[in-house]
Chain A
Amino acid sequence: MKPLKILYIEDDDSQRISFAKILRKNGYIVTAASSGKKGFKKFSKSPSDIILCDLNMPGIDGIQVVKKLKKENPQVICIVTSAHGSIKSAMKAIEHGAYDFITKPLHIEEFNSSLKRALEQKKLQEEIHDYASGLEEMVKKRTEKLNYANKQLTALNKLSNRLSKFRNEDELINIVPELLTKSLDFDRSLLLLENDGKLMLRSFYFLHDSKKMNKIVKRYIKEGNFPVIQPMPQCFKENRTIFKKNIKRIRSWEINSIVLSKRELPSSFVLTPIRVKNKPIGVLAGNLQYHPRELEHQDIVRFETFANIVGLSIDKIRGYHNLERKVKERTRSLHTVYIELKKKARQLEKTTIDLAEGNIQLLAVKEILEEKNEEMQDILSELSQRKNELQSLLDSSLSGILMVNTDGKIVAANQVFSEFFGVDAGKFIQKNIKEFNKKIRLKFAFPKLFNEKVRSFLKSEKDHSVHVDHAAMFRDALEVLKPVHRYLSLYSSIVHDRNDKIVGRVWAYTDITKEKESDEQVHAIIEVSPLPFVISRVYDDKILFANKPLADLLGYKVEDLVGKVAPDFYYTPEDREIVLTALKKDGFLKNFETQVITSTGEPIWMIFSLVITRIGSESAIVGALYDISEYKAALDKLALANIEIKEAQTQLVQSEKMASLGMLVAGVAHEINNPIGAVRSMHNTSMRAMEKLKTEFSKLVVNDTDVAKEAKRIFQIIDDANEVIDIGTEKVGLIVKQLKSFARLDEADLQKADIHEGIIQALMLSRHEMGNRIRVVKKFGDVPKIRCYPAKLNQLYLNMIINSIQAMPAKGTLTISSRLIGNNIHIKFADTGIGIPKDKLEKIFDPGYTTKGVGVGTGLGLSICYKIMQEHNGEIRVKSKLNKGTTFEIIIPTNLKV
């Protein structure tokens, strides 16, 4: 047989080269192409018997290759190769005429067997073609066979699809025998899997056997005590397919006793290993017992293919399960670790908190202990200090002090007390008060009354203070009654221990007779005084006493004033401080003026003198006051009047100055007016006369004579002179006119005037001051004539201009602008001068304020300007920047009404 020619089309270079090599080794003549297009070319050059073509290629894919080549060359055998899982397209290729498909990676055995089949098929076809005419039967048989094979192939393919969907190994295993039986047309199928070196039956399918048989086998499987196949079948050991045909007797090792050949029917069987990664993991067994057909080579191939598919599927499932299990295990262990860690963390946290709490408590206890210790120390030292203090207090007190405990025993007494009662009280310490009472020589004139009071104190268990201010009789040592007026201040205080239990009572006696008497005198004096008087206590500033004149003045009743706090009456709290400071320093204060708040809240001016003195047992301030509000008011008025007078005076002086200047100007103007009028008129007359003379002269004298020429020259000189005189006198006349107009002394009344005219006149008058150094820019807007006092406004303009000029000692520009805004005319005088300092800007309108020396300027202060603007209901504003210039703005209403 001559070698077969193969066209191998594969886009992957390495695959193509390596497999082509293998093909050549196996005795094929190989033409390789890297694309469909190239394949077509090579085929047309040299047709081959077999096309081996990859399905998935860029450009023309395997299906198209098959389609085209198969159509043009039906005799060609096409086998397609495809990646695992692209069975669908492989099926499509088969539909288009491909014989078979081989899953990548390619194995030569697979290719060989596939090719073998293809060749057989081809051969069959050829045979069919050869024997078509006479051998119908054979054709039919062959066709049937072919159909059958085809059906099985299709079934196998479907099977493969189906099996690849399983995810559970048991399910897969359970279904495999049934599928095998049905799709490959067997009678019985078994699936055995290796476990621990033994082959175990895992699933089966008996198509034609009795139910009983099925049940028995099922039970075995369920119970797991299915007898293993011993020894390992040859196919498993050798990893190859065993195929027996038409045997009458089955050896026990080949198929266990359960797959019994029930009858003596001839039986065929196939045993093929199920491979995972090319290692056998079990055995797939098929048995034809009842079937009439014979097992053929194709059946074996399909069977093997089926087993391979099962192996692949199991491998896939196991791989998947393995992965899943691993992931699960890993997750579980991680979770366990996490939980443990969490637990540990929680324990740790708790321990830490416990420790911290314990620590804090310990610290707190320690602190408390330390504090207590310190306190104890303090208390101890304080106690001893107190004891000493108490003794010195007792000794230094001016009052007589006696302390008695609840048993009536004398606990302490001081020297004053002893002297007061004429008995050495020290001797009675720790003795009952009754013994002491017996010894004292002092007897009260009204002992009953006194005792009643004392008793009432004792009953009440409270602190008491009382002035016993009735007359008392004292007996002297000789028991002679001496009537003496005595005022006693008696103070009794309960002594408590720390638990508020009464442990005794202290008595303090003070003889306040002297103070009492002097107080009364003071009160009496103040009471009758027509001047307001007040007495206030030093320590709490409370008013102890006030007389009626004061109460009347402040708008209170005397009773209301008493008890009020003195500082509340100060209108200026700072004054109070001044008073206190003075009193502390000197003990008195004289003629202090301050404002005092009355009952209505209105302050009134008062003058007062204060002195610190003792009233009764207390330090007090005695004050004599006097109402000076009227005097103050008069003083304020006077000050105001003074200011006004000064202002008025300044204005008067300024006005006077201006007025007299005006008068002078007007007078001068008037005086000049007549002569200049006469001169101008006369000059005009003389010119007219001259003209007439010329006319007459020309009648008398013949032209072009010497006389005529000379006369003409003289006339010319006269004309020139006249022209100069004319211009000169006209100018003088104009100046006079303007002077008069400017002064406008006769125009005190309100009248309509053109503000521009006034400004121009003012500029004219100040031209001398300006010289050449000041440039004047006029930006006059369209403004109406206004009702005003023209003479006054003219003064104002002049003043503004002069000020500006004086602000610009060197060169500068004065810009005068006017504008109508609403109902007001705004006139601005802006210079580029030295400017006005900020602090002086506020004062410039004050009367008499000047930065210029006396006699400089026109004598019109800006205050007059201000006044003028007030008279016009207008405003004057100023803006200035140092060394940049000043702008005065004048705002005059156009509708002035007076």
Chain B
Amino acid sequence: MIEELEWTPNLVLVDDEQLVLSSLKSFLSLETDYKINTFLSAIEALDFIEKNDIDLVLSDYLMPEMDGITFLSKVRKFKPEIPRIILTGYADKENAIKAINEVGIFQYIEKPWDNDDILIIIRNGLEKQRLIKTLQMKIREIDKANSELDGLQNEIVKAFV
């Protein structure tokens, strides 16, 4: 039996506009118990993601320091398993598809967004993350069991010798 993962997802939201961050954070806080970390600066966000255990990243496309695609591609470099969502003001599917292909984006959301849409997308992303995490946990447990077995074996060998 695999135990259910008791887990509070940790999210990072990045947008150069406080309005967007506030509204998203308010909405998610109301509807979920996720831990929400908001950043106006992509660079600060990168630093935070590197140092913390993060389950999902949502970023705006058009930002002054670096655009959303660049930012998310950097995230992928050191935390490839984290689902990445991009929020874009351009109704440009071609660019979005390009981004998904190049940077491996989980989903893109058009501005202005629909709260329900965004909630579902985030949940789906987290579900994927949860499965990955559970898998990792199971692997760790097996590894632990395996090493325990290894220890026992060593003790048995010692006893015989």
Number of A interface residues in the complex (CB < 8 A): 26
Give Cα A10–Cα B31 distance, bound, in whole angstroms.
142
Task: Verify B27–A740 contact, CB threshold 8 A.
Answer: no
Task: Verify B111–A677 contact, CB threshold 8 A.
Answer: yes
Task: Verify A736–B112 contact, CB threshold 8 A.
Answer: yes
B20 contacts chain A at the CB level, 8 A cutoff: yes
Nearest A residue (CB) for B17: A674
Task: Verify A676–B112 contact, CB threshold 8 A.
Answer: yes
User: In the complex, what residues of A have CB within 8 A of residue B89's CB?
Assistant: 670, 673-674, 677, 740
- Binary flags per residue of A738-767, CB closer than 8 Å to B gives 1, else 0: 001100001101010000000000000000
Task: Verify B90–A733 contact, CB threshold 8 A.
Answer: no
Chain A residues numbered 797-814 whose CB sits less than 8 Å from any CB in chain B: none
A537 contacts chain B at the CB level, 8 A cutoff: no
Task: Verify B17–A741 contact, CB threshold 8 A.
Answer: no
- Binary flags per residue of B2-40, CB closer than 8 Å to A gives 1, else 0: 000000000000010101101110110011000000000
User: In the complex, what residues of A have CB within 8 A of residue B15's CB?
Assistant: 674
User: In the complex, what residues of B have CB within 8 A of residue A737's CB?
Assistant: 91, 112
Give Cα A685–Cα B115 distance, bound, in whole angstroms.
8
A24 contacts chain B at the CB level, 8 A cutoff: no
Give Cα A43–Cα B112 distance, bound, in whole angstroms.
138
Task: Verify B23–A741 contact, CB threshold 8 A.
Answer: no
- Binary flags per residue of B94-120, CB closer than 8 Å to A gives 1, else 0: 110000000000000001110100100
B62 contacts chain A at the CB level, 8 A cutoff: yes
Nearest B residue (CB) for A669: B89
Chain A residues numbered 80-116 whose CB sits less than 8 Å from any CB in chain B: none
Give Cα A681–Cα B89 distance, bound, in whole angstroms.
14
Nearest B residue (CB) for A749: B94
Task: Verify A675–B19 contact, CB threshold 8 A.
Answer: yes
Task: Verify A684–B115 contact, CB threshold 8 A.
Answer: yes
- Binary flags per residue of A335-364, CB closer than 8 Å to B gives 1, else 0: 000000000000000000000000000000
B92 contacts chain A at the CB level, 8 A cutoff: yes
Task: Verify B30–A685 contact, CB threshold 8 A.
Answer: yes
Give Cα A827–Cα B17 distance, bound, in whole angstroms.
43
Within the complex, the shortest CB–CB distance from A161 to chain B, in Å, comes to: 129
Task: Verify B91–A674 contact, CB threshold 8 A.
Answer: no
Task: Verify A681–B112 contact, CB threshold 8 A.
Answer: yes
User: In the complex, what residues of A have CB within 8 A of residue B20's CB?
Assistant: 674, 677-678, 681
Within the complex, the shortest CB–CB distance from B22 to chain A, in Å, comes to: 7
Task: Verify A679–B23 contact, CB threshold 8 A.
Answer: yes
Cross-chain contact of A685 among B26, B62, B90, B111 (Cβ < 8 A): B26
User: In the complex, what residues of A have CB within 8 A of residue B112's CB?
Assistant: 673, 676-677, 680-681, 733, 736-737
Nearest B residue (CB) for A670: B89
Q: Which residue, of B15, B62, B92, B115, has the highest number of chain A Cβ atoms within 10 A? A: B115
Nearest B residue (CB) for A689: B30
Q: Which residue, of A677, A692, A737, A751, has the highest number of chain B Cβ atoms within 10 A? A: A677
Task: Verify B90–A740 contact, CB threshold 8 A.
Answer: yes
User: In the complex, what residues of B have CB within 8 A of residue A679's CB?
Assistant: 19, 23
Give Cα A683–Cα B31 distance, bound, in whole angstroms.
14
Nearest B residue (CB) for A677: B112
Task: Verify B17–A684 contact, CB threshold 8 A.
Answer: no
Task: Verify B27–A677 contact, CB threshold 8 A.
Answer: no
Give Cα A689–Cα B31 distance, bound, in whole angstroms.
9
Within the complex, the shortest CB–CB distance from B25 to chain A, in Å, comes to: 9
Task: Verify A673–B111 contact, CB threshold 8 A.
Answer: yes
Chain B residues numbered 108-140 whose CB sits less than 8 Å from any CB in chain A: 111-113, 115, 118
Give Cα A680–Cα B95 distance, bound, in whole angstroms.
25
A681-B23, A685-B115 given; A670·B92 CB < 8 A: no
Cross-chain contact of B91 among A684, A685, A692, A741 (Cβ < 8 A): A741
A4 contacts chain B at the CB level, 8 A cutoff: no
A670-B62, A673-B111, A675-B19 given; A682·B27 CB < 8 A: yes
Chain A residues numbered 659-674 whose CB sits less than 8 Å from any CB in chain B: 670, 673-674
User: In the complex, what residues of B have CB within 8 A of residue A689's CB?
Assistant: 30
Task: Verify A681–B113 contact, CB threshold 8 A.
Answer: yes
Within the complex, the shortest CB–CB distance from B86 to chain A, in Å, comes to: 14
Chain A residues numbered 705-738 whose CB sits less than 8 Å from any CB in chain B: 733, 736-737
Give Cα A747–Cα B93 distance, bound, in whole angstroms.
10
Nearest A residue (CB) for B90: A746
Nearest A residue (CB) for B89: A673
Within the complex, the shortest CB–CB distance from A731 to chain B, in Å, comes to: 12
Task: Verify A682–B23 contact, CB threshold 8 A.
Answer: yes
Within the complex, the shortest CB–CB distance from A671 to chain B, in Å, comes to: 9
Nearest B residue (CB) for A678: B19
Chain B residues numbered 47-96 whose CB sits less than 8 Å from any CB in chain A: 62, 89-92, 94-95
Task: Verify B23–A678 contact, CB threshold 8 A.
Answer: yes
Within the complex, the shortest CB–CB distance from B157 to chain A, in Å, comes to: 63
Give Cα A685–Cα B24 distance, bound, in whole angstroms.
9
Task: Verify A681–B27 contact, CB threshold 8 A.
Answer: yes
Task: Verify A746–B19 contact, CB threshold 8 A.
Answer: no
User: In the complex, what residues of B have CB within 8 A of residue A675's CB?
Assistant: 17, 19
User: In the complex, what residues of A have CB within 8 A of residue B94's CB?
Assistant: 749, 751
A688 contacts chain B at the CB level, 8 A cutoff: yes
A682-B23, A685-B27, A689-B30 given; A677·B113 CB < 8 A: yes
A681-B27, A682-B27, A733-B112 given; A674·B19 CB < 8 A: yes
User: In the complex, what residues of B have CB within 8 A of residue A749's CB?
Assistant: 94
Nearest A residue (CB) for B24: A681
Cross-chain contact of A692 among B26, B30, B62, B92 (Cβ < 8 A): B30
Give Cα A744–Cα B89 distance, bound, in whole angstroms.
12
User: In the complex, what residues of A have CB within 8 A of residue B22's CB?
Assistant: 678, 682
User: In the complex, what residues of B have CB within 8 A of residue A678's CB?
Assistant: 17, 19-20, 22-23
Nearest B residue (CB) for A732: B112
Give Cα A749–Cα B95 distance, bound, in whole angstroms.
12
User: In the complex, what residues of B have CB within 8 A of residue A733's CB?
Assistant: 112
Within the complex, the shortest CB–CB distance from B49 to chain A, in Å, comes to: 23
Give Cα A676–Cα B23 distance, bound, in whole angstroms.
11
A674-B17, A674-B111, A676-B112 given; A688·B92 CB < 8 A: no
Nearest A residue (CB) for B111: A677
Nearest A residue (CB) for B25: A685
Task: Verify A746–B115 contact, CB threshold 8 A.
Answer: no
Cross-chain contact of A681 among B62, B92, B115 (Cβ < 8 A): B115
Within the complex, the shortest CB–CB distance from A784 to chain B, in Å, comes to: 19
Task: Verify B92–A746 contact, CB threshold 8 A.
Answer: yes
Give Cα A657–Cα B128 distance, bound, in whole angstroms.
49
User: In the complex, what residues of A have CB within 8 A of residue B90's CB?
Assistant: 740, 746
Q: Which residue, of A673, A688, A733, A751, has the highest number of chain B Cβ atoms within 10 A? A: A673
User: In the complex, what residues of B have CB within 8 A of residue A686's CB?
Assistant: 26
User: In the complex, what residues of B have CB within 8 A of residue A681's CB?
Assistant: 20, 23-24, 27, 112-113, 115, 118
Give Cα A32–Cα B26 distance, bound, in whole angstroms.
148
Within the complex, the shortest CB–CB distance from A727 to chain B, in Å, comes to: 14
Task: Verify B30–A747 contact, CB threshold 8 A.
Answer: no
User: In the complex, what residues of B have CB within 8 A of residue A673's CB?
Assistant: 89, 111-112
User: In the complex, what residues of B have CB within 8 A of residue A751's CB?
Assistant: 94
Within the complex, the shortest CB–CB distance from B20 to chain A, in Å, comes to: 5
Within the complex, the shortest CB–CB distance from A604 to chain B, in Å, comes to: 57
Give Cα A686–Cα B27 distance, bound, in whole angstroms.
8
Could you give 17 example pairs across A and B, Cβ below 8 Å? A670-B62, A670-B89, A673-B112, A674-B89, A674-B111, A677-B23, A678-B17, A678-B22, A680-B112, A681-B20, A681-B27, A681-B112, A681-B115, A685-B115, A688-B31, A689-B30, A740-B90
Enumerate chain A interface residues (CB-CB to B < 8 A).
670, 673-682, 684-686, 688-689, 692, 733, 736-737, 740-741, 746-747, 749, 751
Enumerate chain B interface residues (CB-CB to A < 8 A).
15, 17, 19-20, 22-24, 26-27, 30-31, 62, 89-92, 94-95, 111-113, 115, 118
Enumerate the 9 nearest inter-chain pairs by beta-carbon distance, A residue then B residue, closest first: A677-B112, A678-B19, A682-B23, A685-B27, A681-B23, A678-B23, A684-B115, A677-B111, A733-B112
Known: A673-B111, A677-B113, A682-B19. 17 other contacts (CB 8 A): A670-B62, A673-B89, A673-B112, A674-B15, A674-B20, A674-B89, A677-B89, A678-B19, A681-B27, A681-B112, A682-B23, A682-B26, A684-B115, A685-B115, A688-B30, A688-B31, A689-B30
